[in-house]
Amino acid sequence: MGALLITVTSGFLTGIIFSLAEMEKFSLTFKTVFVFTLAILSGFWLINILLTAFKNYKFILTSFTLGFRALIMLTPILSG
């Protein structure tokens, strides 16, 4: 649990720093979605690495499939 907290927090802080430094022309909504997406994906990668160690490949494939489907379906809605 500690590794997940560190990973998500570092992704969150990296996203904030990057969005403030490099994304001046984008809206606050876009920056917020970017920061939270980066933080969630950081945790997602750590969890999938642990699942690989447990050799639970079916769950890994399912989670990536659902994650990318959600990303594709929500992009037009959130880019509004």
Using the predicted structure, report yes or no on whether residue 78 has a pLDDT greater than 90.
no
What pLDDT does 1 receive?
Answer: 72
Q: What is the mean pLDDT of residues 47-56?
A: 82
Single pTM value for the model: 0.67
pLDDT tier at 17, thresholds 50, 70, 90:
very high
Distance CA 26, CA 29 (A): 8
Distance CA 63, CA 68 (A): 9
Using the predicted structure, report yes or no on whether residue 16 has a pLDDT greater than 90.
yes
Which long-range contacts does 46-51 make (Cβ < 8 Å, 24+ apart)?
46/3, 46/4, 46/7, 47/4
Using the predicted structure, report yes or no on whether residue 57 has a pLDDT greater than 70.
yes
Which residue is listed with tokens 């996203």? Answer: 15
pLDDT tier at 80, thresholds 50, 70, 90:
low
Domain ranges of the chain: 2-79
What pLDDT does 14 receive?
Answer: 92
